Amino acid sequence: MSYLGYVVAAYAVFVLVLAIDAIGSQLRLRRALQAARQRLQRQAARKAAAAAPSLQELER
């Protein structure tokens, strides 16, 4: 009795799961980097808005 089919199937499942895990990790990393960039942009915009003089007080 040959176990070649079982061994090939086991390796195929292993490679498939490994590929799915790698793709999922890459997508999570991409989302985390995008969120970090957006957070930095919001913080920079907040700092720029705080540094700019407010003209509303002068108009009243």
In tens, the pLDDT along 16-52 reads 999 999 999 999 999 999 999 999 999 999 988 887 6
Q: How far apart are CA 31 and CA 24, in angstroms?
A: 11
Query: Residue 53: what are its φ and ψ, rounded to 5°?
Result: -70, 140
CA distances to 8, 45, 48, 49, 51 from 56, in Å: 73, 19, 16, 13, 14
The answer to pTM > 0.85 is: no
Q: How far apart are CA 36 and CA 46, in angstroms?
A: 15
Q: Cite the beta strand spans of the chain per DSSP E.
A: none
Residue 13: pLDDT band (50, 70, 90) is very high
DSSP single-letter state for residue 54: P
